[in-house]
Amino acid sequence: MKIKSMYLNMLLVGMSLGTAWAIRGQFGHEHGAAFAGSLGSLSVLLLVNRKDWLAQAFSITLAGALGWGLGGMMSYGLVVGYGRADDWTNVLYGLSMLFVIGGLYGFLGGGLFGLAISKVGKDDIPWVQVITEMVVGGAIMYFFLIEQFGWYMTPPRSEVWAICLGMALALLWIFLRLKLYAALRVAAFSGLGAGFGFAFGNFLQVLGQVSEIPFNFWNVMEYSLGFFGGLGLAYGTLTSEWAAEKEAPKGKQPFAIFMLLLLIPFVMWQQNFKWDRIQETYVKLIPTDDPNIYAWVQWGSLGLIACVAIFWCQRLWVKQQNYSFATIWTYFFSMWALYILLSYLVTGAIISLYRPEQYLYALNFGLVLAMLSKASPTIHPKEISFRHWGKNLIFVLMIIGLLAYLLTQSHGEMKGAHKRFGDLSADTLKK
């Protein structure tokens, strides 16, 4: 029963982060990933329901949000195209590199989240030192891998994955040096889940296109990354050994609240609710080119963000409401609802049914809303075994190899396919 209960609890986090990551597909980049990462992090805090963690909920959530958001710098548009090739080598390369990219998303997101909860009730986290080491690690790795060795993953696109790899290795060293094995476990399983989810999502995306079913299978791939990343995030948290729960004073956490309520949502609005994009979307859905509608969408979305921010600033700063389960639960679902509404507005799904996947967000939202408060998780610590982790990694890579083979049997070369290997022209061979 305990194992069954753990799987159900993991499912709630997977659905939360999966839905948020699918919504992130409408916004992209660091801000969208940070917003999604904050929702995934909050779902874990609510699931575990430790008072000392909830007392520091906004600082912990911001750490997770920034970790997931860092991965938003990476480019993967061309990598996805390798999965559409017709030979095993290129398809395997594409799925494997998506495993690396997704793994970096999850390791950084789960790692900073785990680091934040590891320090609850202990000494303050030396964030300046952590950030400095991660920045230096990213710069060194990028210099050697890209500038010196020329190990390009996705030419001619950005190779920022190397920076994220350097930051992840620096974070790994911090965990080992400070003996933060619980945080390392969260990072490892979150990375493994997100990496597999991205590769498996590309597999589903290609099969969906082959089937010619009229659906947004790109969004399926995004959901897969978040869903499996959420499973890993939850599993790593629920199977790690944490310090005993104790009273933790509620800090005001003004910087974290400012970032989560104001800066991240505002940047997301500024980057996505631009007049040209809104006009291009809505002119196809309404019978007239009415600028008043575009203005309503543009400024109405900003108004929604402002109303939510004012509501929570008033409750958290003016009334100084306690950070109880009920308060954080309400905050979580209000921010998730805001994210869904912003997605409906930017895609035009609020006035048209042409994007059916948008309404699956609401279905996931309703299921988690009904089930999260009834969850009763317990922590089941397990020992860290690097040998066992290595076997798991090999097993996942073998599955990815099998998925690559199945894709090559399902189609010929598709539109938008890319090839990194083979098909050398005669002129190239002469050279």
**pLDDT tens digits, one per residue of 316-375:** 887 777 888 999 999 999 999 999 999 999 999 999 998 999 999 999 999 999 998 888
Q: Are 122 and 35 in contact (CB under 8 A)?
A: no
Alpha helix (H) residue ranges in 212-323: 217-238, 254-258, 264-272, 275-282, 291-313
User: Residues 15-37: what's their mean pLDDT?
Assistant: 94
Residue 14, classed as helix, strand or coil, is: helix
pLDDT band for 417, please (50, 70, 90 cuts).
confident
Going from N- to C-terminal start, the domains of the chain cover: 2-251+357-366+375-417
Q: What pLDDT is recorded for position 431?
A: 31
Q: What pLDDT is recorded for position 1?
A: 42
pLDDT band for 425, please (50, 70, 90 cuts).
very low
Residue 172, classed as helix, strand or coil, is: helix
- 123-137, 224-238, 378-392: least confident range: 378-392
Return the higher-pLDDT residue of 348 and 28: 348
Q: Are 105 and 167 in contact (CB under 8 A)?
A: no
**Considering the entire predicted model, what is its pTM?**
0.93
- What's the rounded Cα separation, in Å, for the pair 181 and 183? 5
Environment class of 3 (CB within 10 Å of its CB; exposed 0-12, middle 13-18, buried 19+): exposed
Q: What is the pLDDT of residues 254-277, one digit of tens each?
A: 999 999 999 999 999 999 999 999
- 165-169, 236-240, 387-391: least confident range: 387-391
- What's the rounded Cα separation, in Å, for the pair 343 and 18? 15
Q: What pLDDT is recorded for position 243?
A: 87
Q: What is the pLDDT of residues 52-64, one digit of tens each?
A: 999 999 999 999 9
- What's the rounded Cα separation, in Å, for the pair 403 and 202? 10
pLDDT band for 8, please (50, 70, 90 cuts).
confident
Q: What is the pLDDT of residues 124-154, one digit of tens each?
A: 778 899 999 999 999 999 999 999 999 999 8
- What's the rounded Cα separation, in Å, for the pair 115 and 55? 16
User: Residues 81-97: what's their mean pLDDT?
Assistant: 93
Q: What is the pLDDT of residues 241-254, one digit of tens each?
A: 998 887 766 677 89
- What's the rounded Cα separation, in Å, for the pair 178 and 174? 6
Q: What pLDDT is recorded for position 270?
A: 95
pLDDT band for 279, please (50, 70, 90 cuts).
very high
Nearest one of 260, 200, 240, 8 to 111, comparing CA atoms? 240
- 302-306, 365-369, 374-378: least confident range: 374-378
Give the tokens for residue 39.
Answer: 């929702």
CA-based Rg of the chain, rounded to a whole angstrom?
Answer: 22
Residues with Cβ within 8 Å of 201's Cβ and at least 6 positions away in sequence, in order, are 98, 220, 221, 222, 223, 224, 225
Angle at 407 between CA 403 and CA 410, to 5 degrees: 140
